[in-house]
Amino acid sequence: MNTDRSRLVPGQPAEGGYRPLISVEGESHQVRTDLAGASLRPGWRRSARPLLVMAHLSDTHVMDHQSPARAEMFDRYSDPDSPYRAEVGIVGCYRAQELLTYQVAEAMVRSLRAIGRGPCSNASVDFTIVTGDATDNCQRNELRGYIDLLDGERVLPDSGDLDRYEGVAAPAVEDDRYWHPEGGVEDLPRARYGFPQVPGLLTAIRRPFTATGVGMPWYAVHGNHDNMMQGTVPATGWLRDFPTGNIKYVSPPQDLDAAEAVAQFDSANAEALLELSRGKHLAITADAGRAPVTRQLHVREHFRTSGAPVGHGYSQRNADQGTAYYSFDWGTVRCVVIDTVNPHGGWQGSLDETQFGWLAAELTASAGRPVIIFSHHPLETMINDYRPPGEDRRVLAAEVRDLLLSHPCVIAWVNGHTHVHSVTPVFDEGTAGGFWQITTASHVDWPQQARIIELLETGTGLALCCTVIDSAGPARFKGSGAPEDLAALGRELAANDWQLRETITAEGGAGAGSAADRNVVLPVDWPRRQSPAPATRKPPGR
């Protein structure tokens, strides 16, 4: 629920350092005045007028965790005792809590429905926007699950054999790097890190339920996990058919050159996944529903909906051309959605030249109106210039920044991708204007939160009021098997992730960021004078 009222933080550690969550006092809104010329008068809230109130969800990672196309094996090289950890960093291909992504998403939607209004303005939430990585592994069944969750339809969080669990958490998988909630091999999560044993969990997580649905218009943004296997490797060649097959690799070969394999995977080389085929595997049930989704199919599936608007922002032109960028108006506010996914591979972002030209035209046409940009990737991650020979160049962070700053109408850029709450001002020293970049954490890693963002007219300008919200799951898992209760377990497991737990404190850490990144009020000077655009950089050669 609203974290300005109460917050959930890790409590005292038990055996193995495992920490339950406890409720503490809420976090009041900080006023940040990092942008030049922005200010608020005393008592500004009393006369503030809402222009737009939205719920911001990002990185829900609705996941088929039994899929053959997942690369869980790579994740062990990020464990604290791994000799490769310093070299590979956090890989992010396996988490104990990934079993529960459907239930976490459902609990967040229930929280939105219960809150219903902006905490600062008390105005009704106008719409929800999901800034990418709605799915984890670009599979059709994941995509269908996420749309049905937001629409309020019947949801089946299962695949393959519907009568038995077929993933890495099964007791029969003799690999101690995975959490086995129902017993089996003595795994490190339980033996070393204090993770619980939860009888019946592997049945409870696969039980169908009728989703609550957001009950308001919702809009979609394309993310790298919505387009590529594990968010990195395009599903081309042999990878087109592999996800629907009947073999799941679960343990790497002992002689694997881990650093080289992870480096290849990070650079979108499918051969890295082939290397894993020499390891241990499970025989599982084939499932055509796991077929990979292209960008065009991702867009078209959003037209199969009982929610509003049909297409969820994507137009028929997007569906015909296979593009995923668009714009829409909400009152006086122009909302511009860009597609920062590089379809050639890689998990970081960039733009193609055609879209960059479209964005420039959109901003020119919106002069004099407040503009909010939406994307999956934040500015600092727009560094993916990978392209096969002969393909057009990719537009990276510096050019995008220059373009946005040359248009004073841009007041905010809302995104996700990093799984970390972050609020940063973007401006050039010595100049007025600039915009706020608002990045919201994920539903899969700690703290599994979303935001409500309110754009208010204050009398002296504009203000963006940002409030972090928790899901409707209780503080502690009670063992009932209901979606909200399972979501509570997912959040508790995320707080105890053995690769990140040392950074997670009551003050923040890991994905929670700092207090200045969570509940904040962000003044924006408005109206703005149209200043001459700075000299543009000459694009690099192809």
481: Cβ contacts below 8 Å, ≥ 6 apart = 200, 204, 207
What was the pLDDT predicted at 529? 61
Angle at 56 between CA 358 and CA 266, to 5 degrees: 70
Q: Which of 485, 490, 468 is nearest to 28 (CA)?
A: 468
Burial class (CB in 10 A: 0-12, 13-18, 19+), 78: buried
- Compute the distance between CA of residue 347 and CA of residue 344 in angstroms, rounded to an integer: 10
Entry pTM: 0.95
- Compute the distance between CA of residue 26 and CA of residue 467 in angstroms, rounded to an integer: 11
- Compute the distance between CA of residue 171 and CA of residue 36 in angstroms, rounded to an integer: 58
80: helix, strand or coil: coil
From residue 61, alpha-carbon distances to 99, 218, 279, 385 in Å are 11, 17, 26, 25
Angle at 427 between CA 453 and CA 417, to 5 degrees: 50
Helix (H) or strand (E) holding 53: strand 49-57
From residue 433, alpha-carbon distances to 1, 169, 264, 429 in Å are 33, 51, 42, 10
- Compute the distance between CA of residue 515 and CA of residue 507 in angstroms, rounded to an integer: 7
What was the pLDDT predicted at 536? 41
Query: What are 24's two structure tokens?
Result: 């503490």
346: helix, strand or coil: coil
Q: Which of 383, 339, 356, 389 is nearest to 542 (CA)?
A: 389
- Compute the distance between CA of residue 77 and CA of residue 88 in angstroms, rounded to an integer: 7
209: left (phi over 0), alpha (psi -120 to 50) or beta: beta
Q: Are 393 and 540 in contact, with CB atoms under 8 Å apart?
A: yes
- CA pseudo-torsion sign 410, 416, 421, 422: negative
- Compute the distance between CA of residue 542 and CA of residue 539 in angstroms, rounded to an integer: 9
Pairing of strands 209-210, 218-221: unpaired
Question: Which stretches in the chain have pLDDT values below 50?
Answer: 531-542
Architecture field, domain 6-524:
4-Layer Sandwich (3.60)
Query: What are 275's two structure tokens?
Result: 């290397």
- Compute the distance between CA of residue 449 and CA of residue 231 in angstroms, rounded to an integer: 21
The percent helix, strand, coil of the chain (3-state, each to 5) is 25, 20, 50
Q: What does the domain layout of the chain look like in residue ranges?
A: 6-524
**Residue 298 identity (one-letter amino acid):** H
